[in-house]
Amino acid sequence: MPQLNSSSTFTLLTIFLLGSEAMNLGAAARKQPVRQASALQTRLVTPVQGPSNLHRLGLTIETSAMGRTGVWGPPPESPYAVQPADVGYFERRPGPISLTGADLYRLSCQPCHQADGGGVPPEINAIIGPVQATSATLMERRMKDMGRPISAAFAHELATGSIKDLHDRLKNGGQKMPSFGYFSPNEVDALFSYLDLLAGIPGTGKQPTVTEPVTRVGELLVKGTCHICHDATGRWPDPEQLLQGSVPPIAGFTMEKSMPQVIGKVRHGAPVVMGSLQLVYRGRMPVFNYLSDDEVSAGYLYLLHYPPR
């Protein structure tokens, strides 16, 4: 069979290789793919602001899988639900925190795309296919296995376009995905190195790390996880409003709850006492047991130093 050598065949190739995931990213052909620093500019730590991603899209916790990759925590009678976390450790460790690409993925991507990158189809696309499309080696190998070989040069063109599209999607967001334009170039590079590893890209090298101040780690957590479901600001709901589905605003976390209470709620779950209704239930919030005490504490300190707006 003659080799494909026209960019007009790109749509056909991506359908064969990746299905709708690659098409949703709109990959385009450019030139030789090179793993290089993103064009995203370094940003200072900034407050979280505006409506949650669910609010922006007109969705509710009950109708969306976004932000739902935690587990459903223990019932209210569990000791974890009433024993606050010990936060003395954080006072003994105030310095910068080293994050790997895997850590960045947990803080910012896993809440929607799952730990394995599989997403929650059809609402949330898997990330694996689009990342694999950035590998010229995989592109050429798969097409050969399918009996539709392409040249190495054309595979590099397709892969380079996919690399650009992934960077653009991270920076600008999409129809449902929020923008992560606040990522620094070093953070982007570390994240994409981990995505290569997660997707099984051949030749994936040593995983880089980034050293972040505590407030930056907190910013990544709050913007990448909390802000999916929680608006930045608003009135703290009363027990009856909570029962009816109101979601507390991020601004109230530090005003209404102590650091140990927030750590306990996020990592273990905590009961919601419905006041005059004399009801106790665990609440609708998943338990993010894959986050560490340090990371949740960093989020709390970030909110103290950079109040939401």
The DSSP line for 84-112 is PPP-HHHHT--S-EEEEHHHHHHHHTHHH
What's the CA gap between 126 and 217, in Å, rounded? 25
> What are the backbone angles phi and psi of residue 286, rounded to the nearest 5°?
-65, 160
Domain ranges of the chain: 1-30+125-175, 31-124+176-305
Please identify which residue in the block is written with the tokens 């019932």. 75
By the 10 Å C-beta count (0-12 exposed, 13-18 middle, 19+ buried), 203 is classed as: exposed
Q: 281 Cβ partners below 8 Å, 6+ apart? A: 76, 271, 272, 274
Tens-level pLDDT at each residue, the chain (309 residues): 334 333 333 333 332 333 333 333 333 332 333 333 333 333 589 999 999 999 999 999 889 999 988 877 665 555 444 444 444 444 444 578 999 999 999 999 999 999 999 999 999 999 999 999 999 999 999 999 999 999 999 999 999 999 999 999 999 999 899 999 999 999 999 999 999 999 999 988 899 999 999 999 999 999 999 999 999 999 999 877 877 888 999 999 999 999 999 998 899 887 766 655 555 556 778 899 999 999 999 999 999 999 999
* 3-state DSSP assignment of residue 244: coil
C-alpha 296/C-alpha 199 separation (Å) is: 28
